[in-house]
Amino acid sequence: MNDTFQAPANGQAVRAAAARGLIPVLTSQGSLARLDEQQVSARDRAFLRALCYGVCRTLPRLEALTGELLRSPFKSRDRDVHALLLLGIYQLLYLRVPAHAAVGETAGAARLLDKPWATAVINGCLRRLQRESSALQEKVDRDPCVALLHPAWWLKLLRQAWPDDWREIAIANNQPGPMTLRINRRHGDRERYRERLAESGLGCQLCQHAPDGLTLEEPCDVRSLPGFAEGEISVQDEAAQLAVELLGPALAPRPGARVLDACCAPGGKTAHLLEVFEISLTALDSDAARLERVTETLNRLGLDATLKHADASGLEWWDRAPFDAILLDAPCSGSGVIRRHPDIKRLRRPEDIRHLASLQADLLDTLWQTLAPGGTLLYATCSVLPAENTEQVEAFLARTPDARVTTPEDVAWGRTAGAGRQLLPREGGHDGFFYARLEKQA
């Protein structure tokens, strides 16, 4: 997790911006998706993201250490100062930033937050951490939740669901996910694109299970990759790319098939379906802003779909013409993609799982009505929790007599999990995902 960064052009400004960006997460009021990167120069944005995502990834440990370093917690109006201290600890322990910069620039950033009094406090705490680093880390790591960087309730759920794998899942969650690309088949194959990457001095590996995927050896700005602006590639994890493989038997023999992508934003799977199959696709999402991102993606790729701003748990949007296939990439806890969205660990609550499971059940029941007899529904989540996956599908099958499981078992990825297949997040590999393929009996 130790990354090296070019010294920021304005170190104090970047750290102050990072502190402001972390406050919504620390107060459970918002996610890093709203991080305003425009407040720093283009050169410093990668460092800003690394700071904010890194702090969220390691937050349980950083907060345990602040408890050791502070005589008393900061007042609620000084959450920005608290965030600065977290940033300082993160830099000292996890980034290859010169220690003098980690301490001096972070403490100095307090002045940019109009709190010059905090400069001495942060400086003192970070100096003490430097002196007593080993002893302090050893002390806080006695708590397994701190050592594994997860809240206790998350670890409990993982242990219950995956008694033989929970620790490896937690460790994988703590590593940044690799940058995986999806090659647009309409422009060529991944072997040809790998040669183009090599010509640009970039190394990659072909994905093992997704035939359109390759993973870069080092992440980079996607806009710098050859052919991105022309729609030749997109960024998409290997596990997410498998949705198209699972829908293939239902779509490949049926050009012009009527297909629904029910919760489509941000549109990665929408675009992949259109790249591979000659279909008539309706893409639905309840979030207008995220639907706009789908529009931008399809425009870049030169693809066309019917986009609708609507809630898939109702049928007001439906024209009563049944669909031949449906992709339901259901809203979920995101427990399989924590490494890409580490703020999930702070923002989710135990009761969210029950609420999400209820929503997933409503979506399944509603969308099943729009599926033609003989049609296929692919249920997907980026979760590793049985309540959203195996238990969800088993309950649906119990109350839906015309549903038949067609999830393949002869595939090399994932593991059988009830009526579906479960992928667990792998360090350096794919995200955690669940798929169940269901056919509506004629």
Active site residues: 382
Contacts of residue 122, Cβ cutoff 8 Å, sequence gap at least 6: 81, 84, 85, 88, 106, 107, 110
Q: CA-to-CA distance for 241 and 269, rounded, in angstroms?
A: 7
* CA–CA distance, 440 with 365 (Å, rounded to integer): 12
Compute, in degrees rounded to 10, the torsion defined by CA atoms 298, 436, 178, 47: 70
Q: Give the angle 303-309-314 at the CA atoms, nearest 5°.
A: 125
What letter represents residue 220's amino acid?
C
Helices 79-94, 45-57: axis angle to 10 degrees equals 90
Which alpha helices (H) appear in 30-177, and where do they start and end?
Answer: 45-57, 59-69, 79-94, 99-112, 118-131, 133-140, 144-147, 152-161, 166-173
Do residues 197 and 226 make contact, with C-beta atoms less than 8 angstroms apart? yes
Record the tokens describing residue 265, joined without a space: 């934003």
- Residue 199 CB partners (closer than 8 Å, separation 6+): none
397/400 Cα distance (integer angstroms): 5
